[in-house]
Structure 1
Amino acid sequence: MTDTHAENNIHPQGSIDTEVRGHVLLIAINRPNKRNGFTPKMYRELGEAYTRLDDDPTLRVGLLHAKGAHFTAGLDLPSIAPLMRRGEKAVPLGLVDPCDLGIAGYRRRVKPMVVAVQGITYTLGIELMLAADIVVAADDCRFSQLEVKRGIMATGGATLRMAERAGLGNAMLHLLTGDVFDAAEALRLNFVQKVVPVGLELETALTIANAIAAQAPLAVVATRLNVLKAVEHGPVVAMHEFIDTQQRLSNSDDAKEGVQSFVEKRDARFTGR
């Protein structure tokens, strides 16, 4: 994983490049000559980047995007298949799982993740979207969860999250046929939140990420985790956290700053404490 702005000198196995802009960590998939197909090296570096986001207190939001015309064609099967046959994962234990599945030995991401997608967005690409929080899609996107065409099953979260987002029938339609669908269908299915003209997806996603980063970090994380708890464990379970969480947040420096900025009629300056 490298901090870089360059698009040339691409590693043959691809790379995950990172760049910090303010409180936002931009995470770039960089193997455009292979439609950003994920090798084990890239998947490991993606886990490292997600872990960096959560561990660095100066970072508040992640933004996943891709170099070139396509987000990703998915896994590079020739390089990934040996791991799959051995039942191994490319992301080392102890790191944040980019698919956020809660598998034993892996951390779940705490901070928000925004994703910008364009062009081909297949298999793992969809699963990374569904594991994130907000997705901006270019209007040239082509989506496909096509594992059944390769004799395997989607195991990065599509079988869990497609039905939750779009309903059982819609999930089965795309999971069992492996068909290709467009950005308008992805928006209808609630897989993406915004569709914009191609070329504007990263700018739009960065605007959203910066808007999130401007809010109180502790409150953003608490809100995100409570929503996920409601989805995964039910609203009653999530509701039981309301009083304790609100008490903890209300005693933070940021809550005091929120009140003071309201009184003084100015933008708040949050510190994450």
Structure 2
Amino acid sequence: MFTRGDRLELHPHRHHPPPEGCVVTQIVDEHILLIGLNRPAKRNGWTPRMFRELAEAYTQLDDDPNLRVGVLHAFGDHFTAGLDLPAVSEYLKKGQKLTPAGLVDAHDLGLSGYRRRTKPVIAAVKGICFTVGIELMLASDITVAADDCRFSQMEVARCILPAGGATLRMPERAGLGNAMLHLLTADEFDAAEAYRCNFVQKVVPVAELLDTALTLARRIAAQAPAAVIATRLNVLKNIELGQAAAVADFSPVQSRLASSEDAAEGVRSFVEKRPARFTGR
């Protein structure tokens, strides 16, 4: 267990990651799941194994009742250079999924046969963050970017459709013109431009990246877990299905939350003028 004053030590692998890379999970502060991309020798280029293990990590986050928030990060100097095309090209040609059915879809696209994520994820990106890296950070709830980031949604330069959510979330965050600027030119842009386009929410020095993400994660983990999930899902329902669908959930969800032990604790903490101690019940 780590507390706020502890220096976090990451454990990427007992020895070295396998050639095809892996995804390493680590629980900190009881309620936070660190999810680390671990193929630094190849700039964390994505392989089928990494996609499978990422989905398994997101499923672990959702299924473990003690976990409240995930932090997606990367080992090495770069978040990811994108797909390892030789490793995944056959999947793309055949239209095969890189993630086994039944798991949580890390891109959170609502695909048939896959689960939607309910708990929040913070992405901490640094160095090169290309293609699938951008799509994964856009699928997260909050993104913290290091000031050394280099972004590119370069699929059109490889005759590939950016099918991990960029065509949906870039225009949603940045507007049509800004989305087309980066989707159609395959240009490279920096953290300041990503911030301007609302692709990232904070830009910090690379040395402060993981600490900043963990500070946010700790703040979220201190809130009532059921209310965090309900709030997140209501925002997404509004974006995906419209205002009326989101408003229709207000009364039944509020009633369910108000009947919980955590709601009673929220009232007690208010009366007693102290921080609430939520249990998730």
**TM-score, normalising length: structure 2:** 0.95
- Measure the CA separation in 1 of the matches of 2:248 and 2:73: 36
Cα offset, 1:109, TM superposition: 0.3
Cα offset, 1:236, TM superposition: 1.9
Aligned equivalent of 2:146: 138
How many residues are matched?
271
Query: Which amino acid letter does the alignment assign opposite residue 105 of structure 1?
Result: G
Q: Deviations over 1:154-190 (max 9, x none)?
A: 0000001100000000000000000000000000000
Provide closer, same or farther for how the CA distance between residues 139 and 8 of structure 1 changes in structure 2, counting only shifts above 3 A.
farther
- Measure the CA separation in 1 of the matches of 2:189 and 2:39: 23
Gaps of 5+ in 1: none
Cα offset, 1:237, TM superposition: 1.4
Aligned equivalent of 1:66: 74
Aligned equivalent of 2:181: 173
Q: Which moved more, 1:44-53 or 1:233-242?
A: 233-242
- Measure the CA separation in 2 of the matches of 1:181 and 1:92: 33
Aligned equivalent of 1:12: 19
- Measure the CA separation in 1 of the matches of 2:13 and 2:109: 32
Query: Which amino acid letter does the alignment assign opposite residue 201 of structure 2?
Result: Q
Runs ≥4 residues deviating over 3 A:
3-8
SS of the aligned residue for 2:269 comes to: helix
SS of the aligned residue for 1:200 comes to: helix
- Measure the CA separation in 2 of the matches of 1:132 and 1:223: 15
Structure 1 vs Structure 2 CA RMSD: 1.1
Maintained 8 Å contact 1:7/1:67: no
Query: Which amino acid letter does the alignment assign opposite residue 248 of structure 1?
Result: R
SS of the aligned residue for 2:206 comes to: coil
Aligned equivalent of 2:33: 25
Gaps of 5+ in 2: 1-9
Provide closer, same or farther for how the CA distance between residues 7 and 74 of structure 1 changes in structure 2, counting only shifts above 3 A.
farther
Q: Deviations over 1:88-140 (max 9, x none)?
A: 11110000000000000000100000010000000000000010000000000
Query: Which amino acid letter does the alignment assign opposite residue 271 of structure 1?
Result: T
- Measure the CA separation in 1 of the matches of 2:114 and 2:260: 29
Maintained 8 Å contact 1:147/1:178: yes
- Measure the CA separation in 2 of the matches of 1:127 and 1:8: 30
Aligned equivalent of 2:104: 96
Please tell me whether residue 192 in structure 1 is matched to residue 200 in structure 2: yes
Query: Which amino acid letter does the alignment assign opposite residue 15 of structure 1?
Result: C
Maintained 8 Å contact 2:146/2:206: yes
- Measure the CA separation in 2 of the matches of 1:4 and 1:94: 28
- Measure the CA separation in 2 of the matches of 1:33 and 1:126: 20
Q: Identity over the aligned pairs, expressed in percent?
A: 65
Maintained 8 Å contact 2:12/2:36: no
- Measure the CA separation in 2 of the matches of 1:247 and 1:140: 46
- Measure the CA separation in 1 of the matches of 2:104 and 2:72: 14
- Measure the CA separation in 1 of the matches of 2:206 and 2:67: 28
